[in-house]
Structure 1
Amino acid sequence: MPAERPLLGAIEAGGTKFVLGVGHGPDEVIEQQQIDTRDPATTLADVNAFFARHEGLAAIGIGSFGPLERDPRSAQWGHILATPKPGWSQFDLAGAVARAFRVPVAFDTDVNAAALAEARLGAARDAAVSVYVTIGTGIGGGVIANGAIIGGAGHPELGHMRPRRSADDHGFDGICPFHGDCLEGLTSGPAIKARWGESLSHLPTDHPGHAIIAGYLAEMCNTLRAVLAPDGIVLGGGVMGTPGLFERVIEAAAGSDGGYFALPAAQVIRRPVLAPVSGLAGAFLLAADLL
């Protein structure tokens, strides 16, 4: 008989909620639980109580909000870095989990975890190079090449690229405290509300905001295609739940790429398959990779 697969723990650590899982992989989850993100001590007490119910954990994977230190060569590996989330700056999240359970811990960004899951199991499983982008409260992205997460000095910050401003977009400076009108400062959920007073999904279908946001996201996609030559770009996050936005992005990308790229925009730009559990599935994969 085949040997039983090892028991793994998975944590998708978000700024609003933690999603916890135990199982033999994303295809065999034994238990899953969601808890609110509060201060580190209170949140970790709930995390520890959840995993303590399961004996024999072989490894735990964490996909976390950031910014964070993912480089295992750094003395700060496993830490949340400077974040506006009260109490979490410089918190050693990976170390706290490892000390509690004395098992190997994998640590990366939540969006890298989601990117890994969509590349190996989801929308981009046929792609040699893929990018996962979440457009929501912020904008984050992860890049996967041949099944592995790409990162060097830190992790990709796709939300902070600077798009060319639309001729139809006037009088808004953007909300990013670092760059003003970077992609996150213009097209994240809070940026949309700051500009028009509503989420994109609540604006009338003929509101110019739909075309403006789609145009910026299409420019992002074409920039990624020019820089990385991905076979797949997966667009997730709450803003992408706006009816018609996905189709608008593809139309705008195809209309502005000049026919330059080998693959059509409609083939490259994709919806996530594993949402809303892409991040948790990726955390399971991070843990499995340790073994």
Structure 2
Amino acid sequence: MNATPLYAAIEAGGTKINVAVGSGPADIRRRARIATRHPDETMPEIAAFLDGAVAEFGPLAGLGIATFGPADLDPASPTYGCVFAGTKPGWDDTDILGPFVRQLGCPAAIDTDVNGAALGEARWGAGKGFESIVYFTVGTGIGGGFVQDEKTRHGLTHPEMGHVLVRRHPHDAYPGICRFHGDCVEGLASGPAIRDRLGAPLDELPEDHPFRAILADYLGQLCAQAVFLLSPQRIVLGGGVMNAGGLHGPVTDAMRRYLAGFIPHPRLKGDDYLVPPALGDDAGIAGAFALAMDASRRASR
């Protein structure tokens, strides 16, 4: 048995699945990146990685999974740990938690990928030291997670902040790409929406392209709604679209326009309220480690 407890962390995304074993995100002993194919191919590959880790390190103390959604996160539900009909063909009603719990025989927890990233940033990244943060990812989709007192918050199910409706920009006639809502914020401002409307990803467009102002407007509305609804102490804004650069300032300006001075808190006027993630691409796997640690801690009480 390891003197230092080791945990398994799985970050399941729409195109790739990151799997790691270590004592935490700063001490990863073994990791792999697996393409997200049909579950009949992908799940055995994850299981083989975990078998190899157990053979090398011994029993693991906990398992955390941060998965693409929608997913059933209610432990009392008969479909707890399953992902439902969403954007990944072939994964409908797949149990992404149960097989690995049975394989490892350790405490486990599951949350969405964006909630996992929010938890990782809250514990070790740009949200450390704050009682509440909202994390948005803007990439293949748009999602948001809310962490308060180092716990992600759920309700009927997990939040779907990327599907909120926004006011249409006066210079934008694009109908939207979301197959459910058309012109929700994901339908207007996600990576696929940008490529569909412009024929190229944002990082291939010139810095003075007029669409950047439209994009900042939509994301600013999203952040303003988070302030009105949740009043987080910090907003972390990441994802592949944001990695194109130069957007955090314009999004902050747009957020302030939509807040219109209604919330007179001095932090909203500073340049450190809406920030990029500190953990970069490792935010999700860090969150999965946090879920595993918390599950192990609860089981030992």
Query: Per the shorter chain, which TM-score range?
Result: over 0.9
1:93 — aligned with what? 96
Please tell me whether the aligned partners of residues 126 and 278 of structure 2 are also in contact (alpha carbons under 8 angstroms): yes
Q: CA offset at residue 107 of structure 1? A: 0.9
1:245 — aligned with what? 247
Q: CA offset at residue 285 of structure 1? A: 0.6
2:268 — aligned with what? 264
From 157, 162, 166, give the equivalent of 1:159.
162
2:148 — aligned with what? 145
Matched, 1:202 2:213: no
Runs (4+) off by over 3 Å: none
Deviations 1:143-193 (A, max 9, x none): 001111100111110110001111121x21101111110000000001111
From 135, 158, 168, give the equivalent of 2:171.
168
1:228 — aligned with what? 230
Q: Larger deviation: 255-264 or 46-55?
A: 255-264
Aligned alpha-carbon RMSD (Å) = 1.4
The CA distance in 2 between the partners of 1:29 and 1:89, in whole Å, is 31
Deviations 1:57-104 (A, max 9, x none): 121110011111011111110001113423211011101111222222
Q: 1:165 aligns to what SS in structure 2?
A: coil
Q: Larger deviation: 280-289 or 31-40?
A: 31-40
The CA distance in 1 between the partners of 2:230 and 2:86, in whole Å, is 29
1:73 counterpart letter in structure 2: A
1:45 — aligned with what? 44
1:179 — aligned with what? 181
Q: CA offset at residue 252 of structure 1? A: 2.1
Q: 2:281 aligns to what SS in structure 1?
A: coil
The CA distance in 1 between the partners of 2:255 and 2:96, in whole Å, is 39
Q: 2:241 aligns to what SS in structure 1?
A: helix
Mark the runs of 5 or more structure 1 residues left unpaired by the alignment: none
1:9 — aligned with what? 8
Deviations 1:190-243 (A, max 9, x none): 111111111122222222100000011011111111111111110010000122
Q: CA offset at residue 250 of structure 1? A: 1.5
Mark the runs of 5 or more structure 2 residues left unpaired by the alignment: 297-301
The CA distance in 2 between the partners of 1:167 and 1:78, in whole Å, is 42
Q: CA offset at residue 31 of structure 1? A: 1.0
The CA distance in 2 between the partners of 1:159 and 1:222, in whole Å, is 13
Please tell me whether the aligned partners of residues 59 and 104 of structure 2 are also in contact (alpha carbons under 8 angstroms): no
Please tell me whether the aligned partners of residues 200 and 209 of structure 1 are also in contact (alpha carbons under 8 angstroms): no
76 and 218 in structure 1: CA distance in 2 versus 1, 3 angstrom threshold: same
The CA distance in 2 between the partners of 1:154 and 1:78, in whole Å, is 12
2:75 — aligned with what? 72
Aligned-residue sequence identity (percent) comes to: 45
Q: 2:280 aligns to what SS in structure 1?
A: coil
Please tell me whether the aligned partners of residues 163 and 220 of structure 1 are also in contact (alpha carbons under 8 angstroms): yes
The CA distance in 1 between the partners of 2:167 and 2:30, in whole Å, is 46
Please tell me whether the aligned partners of residues 237 and 275 of structure 2 are also in contact (alpha carbons under 8 angstroms): yes
The CA distance in 1 between the partners of 2:215 and 2:124, in whole Å, is 29
The CA distance in 2 between the partners of 1:200 and 1:42, in whole Å, is 32
Q: CA offset at residue 4 of structure 1? A: 3.0
2:281 counterpart letter in structure 1: P
The CA distance in 1 between the partners of 2:178 and 2:257, in whole Å, is 28
The CA distance in 1 between the partners of 2:170 and 2:89, in whole Å, is 39
Matched, 1:285 2:290: yes
1:117 counterpart letter in structure 2: G
